[in-house]
Structure 1
Amino acid sequence: MTKPLVVVTGASSGIGAATARLLSAQGHPLLLLARRLERLEALDLPLTLCRKVDVTDRPRVEEAVREAEERFGPTDAIVNNAGAMLLGRVADQPVEEWDRMIDLNIKGVLYGTRAVLPGMLGRRAGTIINVSSIAGRKTFPNHAAYVATKFAVHALSENLREEVAASGVRVVTIAPGAVETELLSHTSSEEIKSDYQAWKESAGGALDPQVVAEAILYAYRQPPNVTVREIVLAATGQEG
């Protein structure tokens, strides 16, 4: 192996799966984490360890990282991609959906980061890539709880970057607009899903996950002394 280990969370579909394929094509050994193990294994990538892990389970995340590092060597980067987009109005959205997004979108990023960061600080090298959203920079109708979690990812990423910059560790935020993924399908309100789909169509469609994966790879491939702090990208027709 000539390339170092990269960890990708939420790798069973969408941006995570596209990122895994792209990094594998570059020759990186991978640790892929998701709840749907069969989807990870179906990617059929070489030098890849697939583990059924919910990123809200911190001990399991750390265990999987240790296992991958024993096999492939130290983690050079993590792509904290796992997340949920459950849209709804604050007045009537099920509170359990808030809890799930807070646990997955915020705690999951923290747990993935903690699993690899001490080693990176010790080696004075490494890259933390947090997949946030354009909803981490501005608000949208029916997005209040989701927006709150993505604003948190933006703030966490910037504060973490300040903490670790002098130690040679890079922190990158990727903030895409609407992407053609499974995220919307988990929203419980059929009305909101229909409105969101119509909004995407009015913008001429959403981003292909491959485009976001390429942005992730671009940031990661910069020289170690260069940090692309944030990439914001969206379909040209997306006004907001």
Structure 2
Amino acid sequence: MTNKKLIVITGASSGFGMAMAEMFSKSGYPLLLLARRVEKMEALGLSNTLCRKVDVTDRETFEAAVREAEGIYGKTELLVNNAGVMLLGDLTIQNSQEWQKMLDINVMGVMHGMQIVMNDMKARKSGTIINVSSIAGVQPFGNHAAYCASKFGVVGLTRVARNEMSPFNVRVLSILPGAVETELIEHTTDPNIVNGYKEWKENVGAVNITAEDVAKTILFTFELPQAVSLREIVITDTKQDA
């Protein structure tokens, strides 16, 4: 058993979440990995790791998984709210069900996660919450209206939670990645938008930054002393100009 404290990562079956799982595991942390595709997480074969099939919009199941892991590894020291979906579309014609799905997962899922761990962290006067937003949480992009709404929401709620939790020595941070090669764009249902997005990335050369780079940044941020809070981190490929 490790003497390091529990790390909870949502959306751990691909992209940033999977990269974080591997990196935190190599650093000796016990993990709770949450996603809807549990077999992808289990295939990593990480030690001191509990994998559970959880939809972050289902608060009851989400909390049950956290409490189960805490019963094994102790209280959550870091929660990374990483689960998210990107359904790009023209606001004038996009199906409103896609808007709702993004708001439910990208915003409500984050709020569920925070509420599940915040009271324990306050009582212990220790802990860190890192919410994965996006550069689309601080600036607009075409065909990103509802996605921007959800990610601007994550930035706003993170700021409010940070104000509420900082007197208790609890860090609440957000990381805002730019374009990175992950499965995220594949969620979008309009093939023209998907192709345009991929073409834009190729044209600006924003294809070199990786999920591992983002994971490394999150691990570094967490391992700083508890008194050090990197409140908001925008991380992009050096060649990304917007």
Q: Normalised by the size of structure 2, how large is the TM-score?
A: 0.98
Does residue 87 (structure 1) correspond to residue 127 (structure 2)? The answer is no
Q: Which stretches of structure 1, 4 residues or longer, exceed 4 Å deviation after superposition?
A: none
Match of 1:162 in 2: 163
Does residue 219 (structure 1) correspond to residue 197 (structure 2)? The answer is no
Match of 2:75 in 1: 74
Q: Kindly report the root-mean-square deviation, in angstroms, between the aligned alpha carbons of the 2 structures.
A: 0.7
- Mapped to 2, the partners of 1:61 and 1:157 lie a distance apart of 19
User: In the alignment, residue 80 of structure 1 is paired with which amino acid?
Assistant: N
SS at 2:174 equivalent: strand
Match of 1:235 in 2: 237
User: In the alignment, residue 125 of structure 2 is paired with which amino acid?
Assistant: R
Kept in 2: contact 1:203–1:235 (CA 8 A):
no
User: In the alignment, residue 138 of structure 1 is paired with which amino acid?
Assistant: Q
SS at 1:28 equivalent: coil
Structure 1 residue 220, shift from structure 2 partner: 0.3
Kept in 2: contact 1:215–1:231 (CA 8 A):
no
Kept in 1: contact 2:132–2:175 (CA 8 A):
yes
Match of 1:171 in 2: 172
Structure 1 residue 214, shift from structure 2 partner: 0.8
Structure 1 residue 111, shift from structure 2 partner: 0.5
Q: How does 1:1-240 map to 2 (within 5 A)?
A: 1-206=2-207, 207-240=209-242
User: In the alignment, residue 221 of structure 2 is paired with which amino acid?
Assistant: A
User: In the alignment, residue 41 of structure 2 is paired with which amino acid?
Assistant: L
- Mapped to 1, the partners of 2:29 and 2:175 lie a distance apart of 20
- Mapped to 2, the partners of 1:123 and 1:236 lie a distance apart of 39
Kept in 2: contact 1:172–1:219 (CA 8 A):
no
User: In the alignment, residue 31 of structure 2 is paired with which amino acid?
Assistant: L
Structure 1 residue 204, shift from structure 2 partner: 1.1
Structure 1 residue 205, shift from structure 2 partner: 3.2
- Mapped to 1, the partners of 2:233 and 2:136 lie a distance apart of 13
Structure 1 residue 203, shift from structure 2 partner: 1.7
Q: Normalised by the size of structure 1, how large is the TM-score?
A: 0.99
SS at 1:66 equivalent: helix
- Mapped to 2, the partners of 1:216 and 1:159 lie a distance apart of 20
Aligned positions, number = 240
Aligned residues with identical type, % of pairs = 52
- Mapped to 2, the partners of 1:180 and 1:70 lie a distance apart of 36
